[in-house]
A and B are shown apart, each in its own frame.
Chain A
Amino acid sequence: MDWSPLWISLATSVTATVITLFLGLAAAAWREGRNGPAMALVDGVFLLPLVLPPTVVGFLLLLLFGRNGPLGKLFLGFGATIVFSWPATVIAATVVAFPLMYLTARAALEQVEPSLLQAARTLGASEWRVFREVALPLAWPGVLAGTILSFARALGEFGATLMLAGNIPGRTETIPIAIYFAVEANEMKQAAAWCLIDIGISLVLLAGLYYWTHLQSPERLRWARR
């Protein structure tokens, strides 16, 4: 059995999750304290990938990153083609996972008691220090939950990936794509094996998430102190 879809899936999901974590946190932190109709539109744009069919997302990404797309041209300038390459799987996974990260990070940051942030400011802390040493550590359980959800979503990404990255075994063939083509080739045992692996990873992640969030208390969240 060729294990490459497992490694490709894991590499893609981990990379996409790390990127999503930073993008989602940055977007959520930026959005804090801003309001108005323009922000509603911003929220709409950020959340669109969650509700659009993955094929629509894939098609838009093709327009963006294709040879004639604005970003495609930009990368071509550096001699890089994005479409049908491994980075394309990461881009597709990042875009579809982003709304989950953004939503959970925002909810988590909003739950931090405002007087704690204000107390930090009166004690001379810069906005960056307020975020890094007060807001983030206190929002961390929610942010971590968002990270795990994003990872699970990235792992399951199919439609947009297929459209942007195609199915190149050993390069862009992730587990969901491997399953689809195994079924199409009538290799039912192969498909079933990949299904079991996918279910296993997802189940461990979600169960771990629940177990972990029930263990949480602020005292355990000391990572960001120094």
Chain B
Amino acid sequence: MGSALMALEVQIEKKLADFALEVSFRAEAEPLSILGASGAGKTMLLRCIAGLEQPDRGRIKLNDRVFFDSESHLNIPARQRRVGLLFQNYALFPHRTVAENIAFGLEGLPRDERAKKVATLVERAHLPGLEDRYSRTLSGGEQQRVALARALAIEPEALLLDEPLSALDTHLRSQMEIQLQETFAAYRRPTLLVTHNMEEAYRLGARLLILSRGRVVASGAKERIFQRPPSVEVARLTGCKNISRASAISDHSVEALDWGCTLRLAQPAGQSIAQASAQVSAQAPGFVGIRAHHIEFVEANGASSEENVFPCRLVQSSETPFRVTLFLTMQQHSSQSPQPDAAQLQAEVYKEKWQRFRDKPFPWHVRLPSDSLFWMKE
């Protein structure tokens, strides 16, 4: 079967404890990251596809096989789906060795063929020497590799990974990420990767699907979603720190109500307001946002009439080893009120850069570059 024909098509509804999972998407032979906060229904979605849970309604189809169809009362059991599922806790059989775990799904093969296949999988998962060990004695990274090798042993037609990196220590994560990327590159079949970490989602997936309380709030090319989040919710889930209520004055100019300034936008403000409604009415309400690392600090040579440049003052700062997050306010008046000003903007800069202007007197000047600003509907 050519890879062009491979596709996982999901369109399901399932009532959960406090919301309903209502998801519809199509995944082709490339990794798709499913991003969402904990409890957004991500794991349930994978379990429905694997056949461990039954949706209330809908249809699940992988390549030319229908797994579930509520209309024709079809529900293929998990064991017949040939879908590899990597559990969040890896679910290795504690009473079986590494080799026996990997061989579990190869029951149908003759003994010598099975041994050969296990040896290949052990090799590919960088596990040689550990064949006779029990999972208890393995490190987290090794356990994950065994679980992945075990899932791949049945040559699944789709691979589902539930938070594959969340159980690992930070230093192991980047290492495992590279291994996962290798695996995905070799696998080339529909692959879903569930995570609550947006960086992981971005690095590991070719495409992105964002889930919030059981619904798809964004899906498509990851670059586009991160650059132009379609809604405030997606902006927040993708880590955008600066969001202001805004009203559109014209196509390229908006008033940021929370920041108290007028901003020029490279992209027309109306664009992501329902394009169907032919005309964008003036004063159309919406939101404007910018990512913390896109905010620039500029020298003010008296003329603060430059595009999107505004004076500001520092309210607070927070340092990480290499970067610093600056909490800024754009209020003009210095703090004569006893209350400290509330921060309006978060900017993130490298420390080297910060050293250069940290001791300068207020006001500082920030630029909100017009091509980094994005307009969002509610």
Spell out A's residues near B (CB within 8 Å).
113, 115-116, 118-126, 129, 133-134, 137-138, 218-219, 221-222, 225
- Asked, given contacts A129-B107, A218-B134, A219-B134, whether A122 binds B95 with beta carbons under 8 Å apart, the answer is no
Contacting pair A120 B52 (CB below 8 A): no
| A contacts with B: majority SS | helix
Interface residues of B in 139-172 (CB under 8 A from A): 150-151, 153-154
CA distance A129 to B93 in the complex (A): 14
A16 to B134, CA, bound (A): 36
When the two chains form their complex, are residues B96 and A124 in contact, meaning their CB atoms are under 8 A apart?
no
Contact (Cβ within 8 A) A125 B104: yes
Distance in angstroms from A131 CB to nearest chain B CB is: 13
A115 touches B95 (CB 8 A): no
B residues sitting closer than 8 Å to A (CB atoms) are 50-52, 77-85, 87, 89, 91, 93-96, 100, 104-105, 107, 134, 136, 150-151, 153-154
B54 nearest CB across to chain A (Å): 13
Q: A123-B104, A123-B105 are in contact. Are A219 and B95 (CB under 8 A)?
A: yes
Known contacts A222-B95, A225-B100; A126/B87 CB under 8 A: no
| Complex: A126 Cα to B107 Cα, angstroms | 11
Taken together as a complex, chains A and B put the C-alpha atoms of A138 and B134 apart, in Å, by 14
User: A118 CA to B87 CA in the complex, in Å?
Assistant: 9
Q: Which of B52, B82, B91 contacts A116 (CB 8 A)?
A: B91
For A115, A221, A225, the residue with the greatest tally of chain B CB atoms inside 10 Å of its CB is A115
| Option from A115, A116, A123, A222 in Cβ contact (under 8 Å) with B154 | A123
Contacts of B93 in A (CB 8 A): 116, 119-120, 134
Q: Chain B contacts of A119 at CB under 8 A?
A: 85, 87, 91, 93, 150
Cα(A149)–Cα(B46), bound, Å: 42
A121 proximity list for chain B (CB < 8 A): 51-52, 77-79
A218 touches B136 (CB 8 A): yes
For the complex formed, measure the closest distance between the CB of A20 and the CB atoms of chain B, giving whole angstroms. 24
- In the complex, the 7 A-B pairs of residues with the closest C-beta atoms, listed nearest first: A123-B105, A119-B91, A115-B91, A121-B78, A218-B94, A218-B95, A122-B85
Residues of B within 8 A of A133 (CB): 104
* Nearest CB of chain A from residue B220's CB, rounded to whole Å: 29
Most-contacted residue by chain B among A118, A129, A225 (CB, 10 A): A118
Judge whether B107 and A115 touch: CB under 8 Å.
no
Bound-state Cα–Cα, A113 to B94, Å = 10
Q: Considering the chains assembled together, what is the distance between the CA atoms of A113 and B84 in angstroms?
A: 19
For the complex, give the distance between the alpha carbons of A116 and B135 in Å.
Answer: 13
Q: When chains A and B are docked, how far (Å) is the Cα of A222 from the Cα of B132?
A: 13
From A115, A118, A122, A225, B84 is in contact (CB under 8 Å) with A122
User: Are A124 and B107 in contact, with the CB atoms below 8 A?
Assistant: yes
**CA A225 – CA B134 in complex, angstroms?**
14
Interface centre among A122, A125, A222 (most CB of B within 10 A): A122
Query: Which chain A residue shows the least CB distance to B47?
Result: A118
In chain B, what residue has the closest Cβ to A113?
Answer: B91
- B52–A118 CB distance below 8 A: yes
Question: How far does the alpha carbon of A195 sit from the alpha carbon of B83 in the complex, in Å?
Answer: 61
Instruction: Identify which of A115, A118, A225 contacts B96 (C-beta below 8 A).
Output: A225
Give bound CA distance, A62 to B364, whole Å. Answer: 97
Residues of B within 8 A of A218 (CB): 94-95, 134, 136
Q: Are A126 and B79 in contact (CB under 8 A)?
A: yes
Contacting pair B134 A115 (CB below 8 A): no
Q: How far is the CA of A226 from the CA of B46 in the complex (A)?
A: 31
The residue of chain A having its C-beta at the shortest distance from the C-beta of B136 within the complex is A218
Question: Which residues of chain B are within 8 angstroms of A126 by Cβ–Cβ distance?
Answer: 79
Give the docked Cα–Cα distance between A123 and B87 (Å).
12
- Inter-chain contact B50/A122, CB cutoff 8 Å: yes
Nearest CB in chain A: distance from B131 CB, A? 15
Which residue of chain B is the closest to A126 with respect to CB atoms?
Answer: B79
CB pair B79 A122 closer than 8 Å? yes
Besides A118-B52, A119-B87, A119-B93, 15 other A-B contacts (C-beta < 8 A): A116-B94, A121-B52, A122-B50, A122-B52, A122-B85, A123-B105, A123-B150, A123-B151, A124-B154, A125-B104, A134-B93, A138-B94, A138-B95, A225-B96, A225-B100
Q: What's the Cα separation between A118 and B150 when bound, in Å? A: 13
A122 touches B94 (CB 8 A): no
Residues on B with C-beta less than 8 A from A129 are 107
A122 / chain B contacts, CB cutoff of 8 Å: 50-52, 78-79, 81, 83-85, 151
Task: Indicate if the CB atoms of A124 and B105 lie closer than 8 Å.
Answer: yes
Taking the nearest CB of chain A, how far is it from the CB of B286, in angstroms?
44
Q: A129–B107 Cα gap in the complex (Å)?
A: 10
CA distance A133 to B104 in the complex (A): 10
Question: Could you tell me the distance in whole angstroms from the C-beta of A119 to the nearest C-beta in chain B?
Answer: 4
Specify which chain B residues have a CB less than 8 angstroms from the CB of A222 in the assembled complex: 95
Minimum CB–CB distance from B138 to chain A (whole Å) comes to 13
